[in-house]
Structure 1
Amino acid sequence: MLDTAFLVRRQQPGFLLSSLCYVGGLAMGLAISAVLLVQAGVPPEALIDEFIVAAFLTSDGLSQTVTAALPLVLVGLASAVAMRVRFWNIGIEGQLWLGAVAATWVALNGIGPATLQLPLMMALAALAGAGWIAISLFLKLKWGVNEVISTLLLGSVAFLLVQHLLFGAWRDPANSFPVTAAFAETARFSGLGWGQLHAGLFVVLAVAFVVWFALEHTRAGFYADAVGLNPMTALATGLPVRRTVIGLVLLSGALSGLAGMMIVSGTEHRLNQTIGNGYLFSAIVIAYLARAKPLWVLVVALALGAVFTAGNVLKVFYSISEAMIVLVQGTVLLSILMAQFFSTYSLSRPV
């Protein structure tokens, strides 16, 4: 019977079916992740304590979760924005590094008046991120170079540039580690008096609101959806396909660069060689789980921030490796993607 069956893509999966598949995939991913963590030596009761109670229901844990979520929101939005026009930005970490470098340059050299230093750092970080992704965008539009390859390789170039600076001109002579000197107070986000949470929270919320409004309530969002669904049809109907792709891809790079500034000015207060680690994979996970919807990016980033917070505790008390935390993220993502298969396709047999 099944040897004559074939798959048919649903034109428009219903809301109920899509929701059930999403929730089912999420539950399956969480269950598998729980089994993996228990097998790695984490007591079952500790999973609830660390991932829910400690991360959300205690004051210190919640502040850590929100603080960790701030750059995750920005990189998640960066991935989601590019995804809307089917540009696969695999160089988010590279753009983040360039944004951090630009912000650090302003901080170390005391560029501009003290009151304008943070806005200048944000602007230059966004420009640096957009400029870095513009290289891949140009290669794609001019010669059809696959952006997966070019953005990924440029990410490695950006990291090597950071290494060159940290082991060279920008290395703090008073420190034995490859880090820059600490930023002045004028180059740091002010604390909000709740753990490490800082005023960057308001910047992230404002950026998320602007991106949500632009994608969901303006013509630009309509153009993005049309280009993402079928660029040839969008071009045939007279939509500005090229302009839409350029605008959203540059916005993706700018958001990644701003995330780099958020880290160095919000929590690290200096440039080091680990600030960008892991953000590429996290950005892809957030964008996919949020279905590239800006408001859902906020929710998923907060949940992933809780995973980071709990993961730090698990690494200390249960010797869980960083790779295991990444495996948990990947397990949840793959489970949801597999579950979405059932909402995207139906099984049909000839009569």
Structure 2
Amino acid sequence: MSEVGGVSDGDGSTRTANIFDVARLAGVSHQTVSRVINDLPNVRPATRARVEQAIAQLRYSPSPAARALVTRRTRTIGLVTPGVSDYGPTSIAMHFNFAAHAGRYNVETVSALEGDQAGVRAVIEGLLRQRVDAIVLVVVDEDVLEVVRGLDLSVPVVASASSARRSPLIVSIDQYRGARSAVRHLAELGHTRILHVAGPLRASDALERVRGWRDELAAHQLEVTDPRVGDWSAASGYEIGKTLDIEPGSAIFAANDHMAIGLLSALRERGLSIPADVSVVGFDDVPEAGYLYPPLTTVRQDFASLGVLMMQKVLIAVEEPDVKTEDTPIPTHLVVRQSTSAPAP
């Protein structure tokens, strides 16, 4: 595996060994390697010997950056965002940056493709090499959380996600109750058939919105049909809208505003009037929502408050790690516009 002072990359080239190479060779976490390097307690003698042997074998020379992983703070936070330009993740990242800078922290932002577990792991390892004090994840795909849960990290991790499991530290907007408010609005208008166009079912937000839709339908004793699944894009909403079975009394709850925009276009092409023939509700309240034809009823998410809450969690985890915090989701707000009305008699 090793050559003089380096590690083979498998293509004939070598590079300088790093703390993660030592951890892999010794069969421990990089946090344990850091503790050995800095002569900290609570490392078993056999484990310490294995790490020291790996250091010698790889001729690893700890850099100041490696030492800083456990000896000092840099007031830098690593922010991992999904490799998409969707409104929600982009807004969360923007407002977290605002909150971090207000707290006099720098932010190193990197993107990782959803579903690329090796890529997510590499991105996080790269941030650790830059001596970040904490890592913040803007999560779209639940698989990203599973990758992080499988890592033994030396810094706190805070994630924006709708996850029932509270590790890593989770902050969220209440997707479930937001979905219920949208469906309740349609049911109270008198709609008896409320369809759902869901987001990708790998996404925790999409799953929570499906759950809220189902439970609110059950509360009103309305029929639950299978949701149609899109990919958050207006194009997917448009394609679904071309084939949706619209009956008298129908309404549609779309899992985000962009899919709702596609739905509105497809329904109009079919000669349907909104909301006279079918009501439509979105989710997010994108800036364009109030200027569509008709203006879109939607569920507003408070991304600014989410950014502040994420930063508060980071500060507590870094500066006061013994303090326990509550995990109360941020509430949503239903914005009623002209895309919904009582069904025609």
Q: Could you say which structure has the greater relative contact order, defined with CA pairs below 8 angstroms and 6 or more residues apart?
A: 1
Structure with the greater alpha carbon radius of gyration = 2
Q: Tell me whether the two structures share a fold, i.e. TM-score over 0.5.
A: no
Q: Which has the higher helix share?
A: 1
